[in-house]
Amino acid sequence: MNPKPHPRPLVPAVLLVALALAAVPLAAGEAAVADGHWQGAIEVPGTPLELDVDLTTAADGTLSGDVSIPIQGIRDLALVDLAVDGRTVRFAIPGIPGEPRFEGTLSEDGETLAGTFRQGGASLPFTLRRGADRAEQARAALAGFDDFVAKAVEEWNVPGAGMAVVRGGEVVFAGGFGHRDLESDLPVTADTLFAIGSTTKAFTATLLGMLVDEGELDWDQPLRELLPRFRLQDPLASALITPRDLLTHRSGLPRHDLVWYNNNDLSRAELVARLAHLQPSESLRAKFQYNNLMFLTAGHLAEVLAEDSWENLIASRILEPLGMARTTFDVADSQRDGDVALPYRETDEGTLHRIPFRPIQLIGPAGSINSSANEMSRWLLFNLAGGKAGERQLINPTTLAEIHTPQMTTGAASNRPQISAADYAMGWMVDVYRGHRRLHHGGGIDGFTTSVMLFPDDDLGLVSFTNRSSALPPILNQHAADRVLELEPMDWYGEGLKQRLQGRQLGEEGEKKKDVLRRPDTRPSHPLGEYAGRYHHPGYGDLTVAEGDGDDALTVTYNRITAPLEHWHFDVWNGAETDRDPTFVDMKFLFQSDENGDVTAVAARFEPAVEPIVFTKQADPRLADPAYLARYAGDYLLAGQTVTIALSGNALKVHLPGQPTYTLVPQASGRFQLEEAKVVTVGFSEDDGVVTALTFYQPNGVFEAQRVKE
């Protein structure tokens, strides 16, 4: 179980439980002098305890208010015992030991409220200053921002962009720019759906947090207590890994993304089962390694505990309460919507080319949500409001605060003094941006980029999208944040454009030198047909190789992606340029042979952080089919002795006089290996489809036996 904590004193720390808003009726106009948004701090020894207070007088003279304490993750907690007497203002925070109370005096100009904070036996000074309405201040700061974004869309050569900014509990900016569909000349709107990619991860972390609140799991209990069949290749990691580890990229596994990429043929349970066959590159909790498969596992965990699909759980527990009715989990559903952005890529010549949507429902908990500026603004407000949707508390504020709290260092260094090195929370990156605490995450999937940013202490949230892979979304967010936070302007935009140009130039120069390690004038060691076949890896599944068009050309098919291969050197093939799916362009495939010269495997660096992934060539599936194997059953004559081949289930057995019975195991070469004597293989000869002989291939010779006619 996960009981809620008991409240503790305000000084030096706070754990508050939100209560219903309290209101005190006063004489008409008496309290109005204190109305407004107040910001300041209690002078706690050491670091001042920052807070803000909102006071409001209704038309009937009723005074109400709330307090927010950002460092504690507390927002809009109702005040009680509010009173205004001339220039003296009093209010209290309920439900906290020591009865914390404020009593202060308004300055002559009404801009400062200063006095004494009391709790238990402590008396400390506090000072609050009247602040502008945050929503109105943000709207004013973003005046003309539409023109800035429209210009950026053109100069960055993206088809379109969507963006929203929230502050003070309101949407202060939302719009669409450029085109969602270039061919049909359709504009982006604030309601246009974009794929939000990995910013989905925060939704999954929040869902697990809700299950923590309900006592269904604990962040730090062994995962195998919840998923008994869960396994990793490392037995110790299998036993110790926890839900918190799943959400913080510290499992020891590198990305292994090609396991799931373009794969929607497996169930989530089947994909989780494959984790046992994926090589780790670090031990558990030793290093931050971004991993989508762990978030898939977290989503699967929620499905098992709540006995419902991840999609239904996210929809019922988050999207519906927030009013995100058009947000989808599948690009097929998005395409049926009347307002959806189409994905594009930029060619080397700088033209925009439409590409297919990438369906990623299988990996959904790590990145499959599609949403709009208007609907994502509600997600921003929810996070800034401590997990509230209107007056409904969807997740315990302390649980959401833990989700927002750094859990794992990324090991990355800051490359500029204005931004600290980022740590990872649960589904969020956390850093300090120009003196302001920031949560953020990016999302990218073919043809789409998303950036989400929260400044919790400043009640500011931002989201932006483009329908081409681009570095523009976080730049738009940072530029808008600088305006709203009234920071000295920094040329994020100009720096980004310069880096974009330098990146293109570097890529072009590198492309010219990519064959520097290629060995010229070599030939494959086998006829092309011998490389063809089905290959298998227990974690990655099946890979198929076939003969291609042209000399020394092959094709590879993996997860329904078919790509041309060009001979590189010796028994290595290279992913060739293609106008189709570019996933395997410039990836090397090394074919391996055994001591008999038979092609037995192909290795490729599907995951750069570990050794090449080796796919073993598989035997013809007919060699495990009893109906097909029956053709080989019968007697064969070898040097006057009878060798009998018998069918047993779906396997062949060989009986030799004076010897034990051997089992024949099908091989990719088309021959069979003796399971009990692996140095011996058996091949069968046919004439017009009729089996006429068998041959024993042994280290000391090759021996042929003619079939006895029935």
Helix axes 134-141, 472-484, angle to 10 degrees: 120
Q: Where, residue-wise, is CATH 2.40.128.120 in the chain? A: 23-131
Is residue 186 very low, low, confident or very high in pLDDT (cuts 50, 70, 90)?
very high
Q: Can you give the length of the chain in residues? A: 710
Q: Each residue of 8-50: pLDDT tens digit?
A: 444 443 333 332 233 344 344 455 789 888 999 999 988 889 8
Q: Decide if pLDDT at 602 tops 60.
A: yes
The mean predicted confidence, pLDDT, of the chain is 92
CATH number among 3.40.1190.10, 3.10.620.30, 3.40.710.10, 3.50.30.60, domain 141-413+424-505: 3.40.710.10
Is residue 443 very low, low, confident or very high in pLDDT (cuts 50, 70, 90)?
very high
Find where tokens 């057995």 sit: 653
Provide CB contacts within 8 A for 521, sequence distance 6+: none
Strands 460-466 and 160-167: antiparallel
Q: Which residues of 359-370 are buried (b: 16+ CB within 10 A; e: fewer)?
A: ebbbbbbbbbbb
Contact status, residue 180 vs residue 477, Cβ threshold 8 Å: no
Q: Each residue of 652-710: pLDDT tens digit?
A: 999 999 999 999 999 999 999 999 999 999 999 999 989 999 999 999 999 999 999 87
For residue 660, the surrounding DSSP H or E stretch is none
Spatial separation of the C-alpha atoms in residues 695 and 690, rounded to whole Å: 15
The pLDDT value recorded for residue 5 is 38
Strands 344-346 and 460-466: unpaired
Q: Each residue of 368-383: pLDDT tens digit?
A: 999 999 999 999 999 9
Q: Decide if pLDDT at 242 tops 90.
A: yes
Distance from chain centroid for Cα 470: 17
The fold of 621-707 is Lipocalin (2.40.128)
The pLDDT value recorded for residue 12 is 42
The burial of 553, by beta-carbon neighbours within 10 Å (0-12 exposed, 13-18 middle, 19 or more buried), is given as middle
Q: Each residue of 383-421: pLDDT tens digit?
A: 999 999 988 999 999 999 999 999 999 999 888 889 999
Is residue 348 very low, low, confident or very high in pLDDT (cuts 50, 70, 90)?
confident
Contact status, residue 685 vs residue 695, Cβ threshold 8 Å: yes
Over range 325-352, report the average pLDDT.
94
Over range 536-556, report the average pLDDT.
94
pTM: 0.86
The burial of 426, by beta-carbon neighbours within 10 Å (0-12 exposed, 13-18 middle, 19 or more buried), is given as buried
Q: Three-state SS for 392?
A: strand
> E strands, 256-386, where?
344-346, 352-354, 370-371
The pLDDT value recorded for residue 673 is 96
* DSSP conformation letters of 68-116: EEGGGTEEEEEPEEEEEETTEEEEE-TTSTT--EEEEEE-TTS-EEEEE
Contact status, residue 341 vs residue 331, Cβ threshold 8 Å: no
| Phi (first) and psi of residue 334, to 5 degrees | -60, -40
Q: Each residue of 134-145: pLDDT tens digit?
A: 899 999 999 999
Spatial separation of the C-alpha atoms in residues 287 and 231, rounded to whole Å: 20
Residue 356: how many CB atoms within 10 A of its CB? 12
- 638-646 long-range contacts (CB < 8 A, ≥24 apart) are 638/696, 638/703, 638/704, 638/705, 639/703, 642/708, 643/694, 643/705, 645/694
Over range 607-633, report the average pLDDT.
96
Over range 466-479, report the average pLDDT.
96
Nearest to 250 by CA among 209, 281, 279, 229: 281
The pLDDT value recorded for residue 350 is 87
Q: Each residue of 46-77: pLDDT tens digit?
A: 888 989 898 988 777 788 898 888 777 667 78
Q: Can you name the residues that pair with 349 across neighbouring β-strands?
A: none
Structure tokens at 444: 């990218």
pLDDT-above-90 percentage for the chain: 80
Spatial separation of the C-alpha atoms in residues 297 and 534, rounded to whole Å: 28
Find where tokens 């989508």 sit: 292
Q: Can you name the residues that pair with 88 across neighbouring β-strands?
A: 85, 105
User: What are the respective helix, strand and coil percentages of the chain, to the nearest 5?
Assistant: 25, 35, 40
Nearest to 445 by CA among 373, 379, 504, 366: 366
Contact status, residue 439 vs residue 425, Cβ threshold 8 Å: yes
Q: Decide if pLDDT at 598 tops 90.
A: yes
The pLDDT value recorded for residue 73 is 65
Higher pLDDT, 4 or 657: 657
CA distances from 68 to 456, 527, 571 (A): 11, 73, 66
Distance from chain centroid for Cα 239: 24
- Look at phi and psi of residue 702 and say left if phi exceeds 0, alpha if psi is from -120 to 50, else beta: beta
Q: Where, residue-wise, is CATH 2.40.128.50 in the chain? A: 528-617
Spatial separation of the C-alpha atoms in residues 234 and 278, rounded to whole Å: 9
The pLDDT value recorded for residue 550 is 81
Q: Where, residue-wise, is CATH 3.40.710.10 in the chain? A: 141-413+424-505
HSE (CB half, 13 Å, CA atoms) of 704?
6
Is residue 511 very low, low, confident or very high in pLDDT (cuts 50, 70, 90)?
confident
Is residue 503 very low, low, confident or very high in pLDDT (cuts 50, 70, 90)?
confident
User: Which CATH number describes the domain made up of 23-131?
Assistant: 2.40.128.120
The pLDDT value recorded for residue 349 is 84
Provide CB contacts within 8 A for 138, sequence distance 6+: 165, 167, 168, 172, 173, 460, 484
User: Which CATH number describes the domain made up of 528-617?
Assistant: 2.40.128.50
Amino acid at 57: T
Is residue 456 very low, low, confident or very high in pLDDT (cuts 50, 70, 90)?
very high
